[in-house]
Chains A and B, each alone.
Chain A
């Protein structure tokens, strides 16, 4: 599973202790028992290797870290709680604290909700096992590999990162994607069109029943749509209409009369055209494949305008790894990894719910939603709790994903990473590193006490 579990399996951390049971009660006669019970020094032999390792590499370090956290970077002088207050001072440290809070609040909740959602949905389908395998699979691979995978997914260029490619595709489905960045009117006076505030305006007002020619130049070939047809003369305008043409006023191979749609020139399809009078849009249209348009229901004199949106660069997707989105983006990859875990646990919990409880509620006329809300969820509550607590413990330690995807961006920092940076990654301050480590340890203490309490209850 994950390296950052650090030997503490997600599973065992929270509810695990509950499973412990006392060994079967002694049932034999006293004499037989004594003969059969091996001496206690033998037990020590069996335990010795484990106790040595746990003692030197787990218990002693906890004590050492606590003491070390009260000393300065060199370890020479006692500084009291300075290392602890230092965690909450300075911009970068506060960002790490804030991000850790965001992680702990958001990630476990979302993973549990998604897991519950999947577990409920898979109950109805036949290929549930296959689905569960697919969603559970990321649990088996390392956070490093997941990090590399998601750095590729989140690449900024929509031609490389699949996240932005999908965003742009969705965006373009709902909004016409045809734009002509950089295109504009021919410069110089006495042209039929001119540029104003990014938009292109007809220089002379047009009356209803007239036509407007809107020649554009500087159209970059890569933005010219494949379905563009050769430029055409606009159709004759009927009463109450303004017709016109928007085209690329450049003849390949030279020649051609400027400001007239000549043979060999291309129409510009998909351009939005507006008729404006007194600053208000009174009619609008979009050019066809040959660049012609018809503005309907126009009366009096209007100005033909090609709004700015025609000439701004197309939507490029989100800045996933920029300063604002980076933590949500990394949490997104965490969801990808851990949802399978929540799903499998919750599905097992669902399977253990007695069918007749649900049937009884249905017979009583409860809707499926009511059954889910009033019967399933309360019955699942202990499992959901276990999942949530396990994930909180795990999220506190999240290191690899932030380290790999964040790539050192201070906006992505969290406490577990800050601990490494302070101690080993160039911070060179074991005092501050120890303080953060002890802080993380204190934050998982409630879970530790929870485990012990459940263990003792089971014993009784």
Chain B
């Protein structure tokens, strides 16, 4: 799989990831031992050669039949996975009357039902358009800030020496699993106290962005530190010998070398923030609300306003889908880097 090189994100792990290799190292040895024993016994008894082709023919037949069954099954599964999203897309392209009169699959017999009117009336709503731009205004800074702040910290953890470094890194690793729920109430109260010259933190885009950055940092630092730590030492020392300041080294050597890891991290963070509902629900007021919160507020009487929800939901998932398909290699790499090891 092309993602095998994705493990480069933490190069020390390589394909035989940390957690697995104890087991993988043990079992194959066992397998090989069994292999040897089997061959030995077969040769000794003199029937090893006769047994093998017979078995392989039978197993090939079984294998072929099994392969066909697997193919059919997987086609069905793939359809099963595509149909719900496709249904949403088709419903967003039909009028409310048509949607109430029958299911979206009726469109196959009545292609004339397709209309973009739901989209055009949705885009005529200024609060929806505002919420789209709010999503952008929240997502882009939250992603950039996480990448920059986490890179700085990860560089310090990987290549600078200071007392308590290992201990502090343990704390960051511990924070990886903290559920966001535990911070909602305290941070809401904290934000409520910040009111500087008419700027209220609670309800603002800034507050939402900072919350996302804070909760994105543990994973970001963790991922980037592992990547940076694997950069060859010679490269850094050569730069230090040449008299480069740490800031220059970070900017000119580490940051550019971190490309793949930073790409993975950026995509992750982008998708989390873009897709978030809970944080926006708590910290964003109506002026700062992203698309997810706006759509949620339209949900009160569900069946009544499918003409808003279907195109709105589809537009909100369009950007993540494009990002996903454009950068899926990095996305999968990020998943693997974070966990198989």
Mark A residues whose CB is within 8 Å of B: 1-21, 23-24, 27-28, 36-38, 40, 42-44, 46-47, 49-51, 53-54, 56-62, 64-65, 68, 118, 121-122, 124-125, 129-131, 133-145, 148-153, 155, 159-162, 165, 336, 341, 344-345, 347-349, 351-354, 356-365, 368, 375, 378-379, 381-383, 385-387, 390, 393, 396-397, 399-400, 403-404, 407, 416, 419-420, 423-424, 430, 433-434, 436-438, 440-441, 444, 447-448, 451-452, 454-456, 458-459
| Chain A residues, CB < 8 A from B287 | none
- Closest A residue, CB atoms, query B320: A140
Assembly CA distance A51 to B299 (angstroms): 39
Given contact pairs A6-B180, A62-B183, A133 touches B328 in the complex (Cβ within 8 A): yes
B281 near A452 with CB under 8 A, answer no
Whether A50 touches B23, Cβ cut-off 8 Å, given contacts A57-B210, A65-B183, A386-B339, is no
Contact assessment for B237 and A36 in the assembled complex, using a CB-CB cutoff below 8 Å:
yes
Q: Is the CB of B185 within 8 A of A440?
A: no
Write out the residue numbers on chain A whose beta carbons fall within 8 Å of the beta carbon of B49: none
Of the candidates B150, B175, B225, B279, the one whose C-beta lies within 8 Å of that of A58 is: B175
A129 to B87: give the CA distance in the assembly, Å: 24
Chain A residues in 8 Å Cβ range of B74? 118, 121-122, 125, 131
Given A121-B73, A440-B182, decide whether A452 and B38 contact each other with a Cβ distance below 8 A: no
Q: In the assembly, what is the distance between CA of A16 and CA of B168, in Å?
A: 17
Q: Give the docked Cα–Cα distance between A382 and B188 (Å).
A: 39
Can you offer 26 A-B residue contacts whose CB atoms are under 8 A?
A3-B276, A8-B179, A11-B338, A13-B177, A14-B339, A16-B219, A20-B229, A37-B161, A40-B160, A43-B160, A53-B217, A54-B218, A57-B183, A64-B186, A134-B81, A141-B320, A141-B321, A142-B320, A143-B275, A148-B88, A165-B105, A345-B335, A351-B15, A359-B35, A400-B277, A416-B179
The answer to whether B341 touches A47, judged by C-beta atoms less than 8 angstroms apart, is no
Tell me which residues across on chain A come within 8 A of B331, comparing CB atoms.
140
Determine the distance from Cα of A444 to Cα of B275 in the docked complex, in whole angstroms.
Answer: 23
Which residue of B has the minimal Cβ distance to A140? B324
B27 to A, closest residue via Cβ: A379
A114 smallest CB distance to B (angstroms) = 9
A348 touches B103 (CB 8 A): no
Given A6-B215, A140-B324, A437-B181, A50 and B221 contact (CB-CB distance below 8 Å) = yes
User: A448 touching B215 by the CB < 8 A rule?
Assistant: no
Residue B335 contacts which of A27, A336, A344 (CB distance < 8 angstroms)? Answer: A344
**Interface check B53, CB cutoff 8 A:** no
Contacts of B24 in A (CB 8 A): 352-354, 379
In whole angstroms, how far apart are the Cα atoms of A3 and B85 in the complex? Answer: 19
Cα A347 to Cα B71 in complex, Å, equals 17
Task: Decide if B278 touches A375 in the complex (CB within 8 Å).
Answer: no
Q: How far is the CA of A458 from the CA of B19 in the complex (A)?
A: 10
Q: Given that A54-B172, A121-B74, A349-B340 are contacting pairs, would A6 and B218 also be in contact in the complex, using a CB cutoff of 8 Å?
A: no
Whether A58 touches B178, Cβ cut-off 8 Å, given contacts A7-B272, A47-B152, is yes
Query: Which residues on the B side are within 8 Å of A368 (C-beta)?
Result: 59, 62, 66
Q: With an 8 A cutoff between CB atoms, is B336 at the interface? A: yes
Selected from B30, B178, B222, the residue in CB contact (under 8 A) with A16 is B222
A7 touches B17 (CB 8 A): no
Q: Which residue of A lies closest to B31 (CB)?
A: A357
Q: Which chain B residue has the least Cβ–Cβ distance from A157?
A: B103
With CB as the reference atom, state the residue of chain B lying closest to A53: B214
Q: Decide if B57 is an interface residue (CB 8 Å cutoff).
A: no
Q: Please, which residues of chain A bring their CB within 8 A of the CB of B284?
A: none
The residue in chain A whose Cβ has the minimal distance to the Cβ of B75 is A131
The distance in angstroms between the C-alpha atoms of A51 and B214, with both chains bound, is: 9
Indicate if the CB atoms of B183 and A424 lie closer than 8 Å: no
Complex interface: chain A residues within 8 A of B27 (CB): 357, 375, 378-379
Query: Chain A: which residue is nearest B18 at the CB level?
Result: A18
Q: Are B292 and A142 interface neighbours, CB within 8 A?
A: yes
Q: Which residues of A contact B337 (CB under 8 A)?
A: 11, 19
B185 close to A434 (CB less than 8 A): yes
Of A36, A131, A145, A424, chain B has the most CB atoms within 10 Å of the CB of A145
* A-B CB pair tally, cutoff 8 Å: 461
- Given A13-B177, A353-B24, A459-B166; A423-B274 close (CB under 8 Å): no
Chain B residues, Cβ within 8 Å of A430: 185
Is B82 part of the contact surface with A, judged by Cβ < 8 Å? Answer: yes
Q: How far is the CA of A40 from the CA of B168 in the complex (A)?
A: 14
Which of A20, A68, A160, A356 is most buried by chain B, counting CB atoms within 10 A of its CB? Answer: A20
Distance of A348 Cα from B272 Cα, bound (Å) = 23
Assess whether B268 is interfacial by the CB under 8 Å rule. yes
Contact B226 A407 (CB under 8 A): no
Decide: B19 and A145 in contact? CB cutoff 8 A: no
A361 adjacent to B335 (CB under 8 Å): no
Residues from chain B with a CB closer than 8 A to the CB of A160 are 99-100, 102-103
Check if B18 sits within 8 Å of A151, measured CB to CB: no
Q: Assuming the A-B contacts A19-B17, A397-B179, are A9 and B268 also in contact, with contact meaning beta carbons closer than 8 angstroms in the complex? A: yes
Which residues of chain B are near A159, meaning CB under 8 Å?
101-103
The answer to whether the Cβ of B155 comes within 8 Å of any Cβ in the partner chain is: yes
Answer yes or no: B246 CB below 8 A from chain A CBs: yes
Which of B77, B91, B338 has the largest count of A CB atoms less than 10 A from its CB? B338
Which 3 A-B pairs give the minimum distances between C-beta atoms? A11-B338, A6-B180, A7-B215
With contacts A47-B153, A62-B182, A148-B310 known, is A383 near B20, CB below 8 A? yes
Contact between A348 and B177, CB atoms less than 8 A apart: no
Instruction: Assess A19 versus B336: contact at CB under 8 Å? Given A152-B91, A153-B84.
Output: no
Which chain A residue shows the least CB distance to B237? A36
Using known A-B contacts A19-B226, A357-B27, determine if residue A345 contacts B336 with beta carbons closer than 8 Å. Answer: yes
Let me know if B137 is at the binding interface, CB within 8 A: no
For residue B321, which residue of chain A has the nearest CB? A140
A161 touching B103 in the complex, CB below 8 Å, given contacts A357-B27, A360-B34, A424-B282: yes
